Amino acid sequence: MNAIAPISLDPGTARALESVTAATITTVLLKKGLRNVWIRGARPVGEAAAARRRAGRAFTLRFVPAREDLATPASWASPISTRAAIEAMPAGAIAVVDAMGVTDAGIFGDILCARMTKRGVAALVSDGVVRDLAGVLGTGLPVWCQGTAAPASVAGLTFVGWQEPIGCGGVCVMPNDVIVADGDGAVVIPAALLDEVLESSLEQERLEGWIMREVEAGVPLPGLYPSNAETTARYDAWRSTQPKSPG
């Protein structure tokens, strides 16, 4: 296995991303020509995921269909196992797991999620399911997935590696891409586009906040959203009076 070395997301960048909604980021990426960035099936599970937005570098894990000679309880002690992968996760990472959309075999349970929490992993995102739900929620690890199932992963899946390109929820995720997850699900920001997406997203949030105030003041939508030239001029005038964002 040729795993790509994980890298950490700058804490200031993570905080800035956590001020931007996943919905806004999908719009910004759409304007840049990227339509397939929202991980299907990755829904917030429990209060930890709903409490606040999470942002971090993707630490990828990949499963393939179960094969009886490979998907065994003994495989959990293999050098290539979910246990070994967790020990390679850096603090602040978001574990993104390609479970092929399988919903009758739980990829992680409470003990694995507890270890991820101890290592400072920011969240778990998958197109599959977890098991030991009460225990998983008790670890405080924010989880986005399709739900829960009692059977272990080997009932339907074989784990094959980490920090390699995956498909999760129909989306290509490269190791060290950036994930933002909130109540609307999880979105993937290509690593090479991070700076420009962050800048555009912060501006989009600022603009939409202003537009919302205009709506609440009774301004009609035509010409406001999307903005025509007159509205854009009014917004630019307002923006010029606002303090500059830190950094």
209-214 contact pairs (CB < 8 A, 24+): 210/235, 210/238, 210/239, 211/235
- Per-residue model confidence (pLDDT) at position 245: 60
- Per-residue model confidence (pLDDT) at position 70: 86
| Residues pairing with 181 in the sheet | 54, 186
Res. 20: pLDDT tops 60: yes
What are the tens digits of pLDDT across the range 193-219? 999 999 999 999 999 999 999 999 999
- Per-residue model confidence (pLDDT) at position 247: 45
Res. 192: pLDDT tops 90: yes
Q: Which of the pair, 60 or 78, is modelled with greater confidence?
A: 60
What are the tens digits of pLDDT across the range 72-130? 888 888 889 999 999 999 999 999 999 999 999 999 999 999 999 999 999 999 999 99
- Per-residue model confidence (pLDDT) at position 16: 97
What are the tens digits of pLDDT across the range 229-241? 999 999 999 999 9
Domains in the chain with CATH codes: 11-191 (3.50.30.40), 196-239 (no CATH)
Res. 246: pLDDT tops 60: no
In percent, the amount of the chain with pLDDT more than 70 equals 98
Residues making up the chain, counted from first to last: 247
The secondary structure element, H or E, covering residue 64 is: strand 54-65
Res. 69: pLDDT tops 60: yes
Local confidence band at 50 (pLDDT 50, 70, 90 cut-offs):
confident
Res. 191: pLDDT tops 90: yes
Cis previous bond, 226, omega within 30: yes
What are the tens digits of pLDDT across the range 23-34? 999 999 999 999
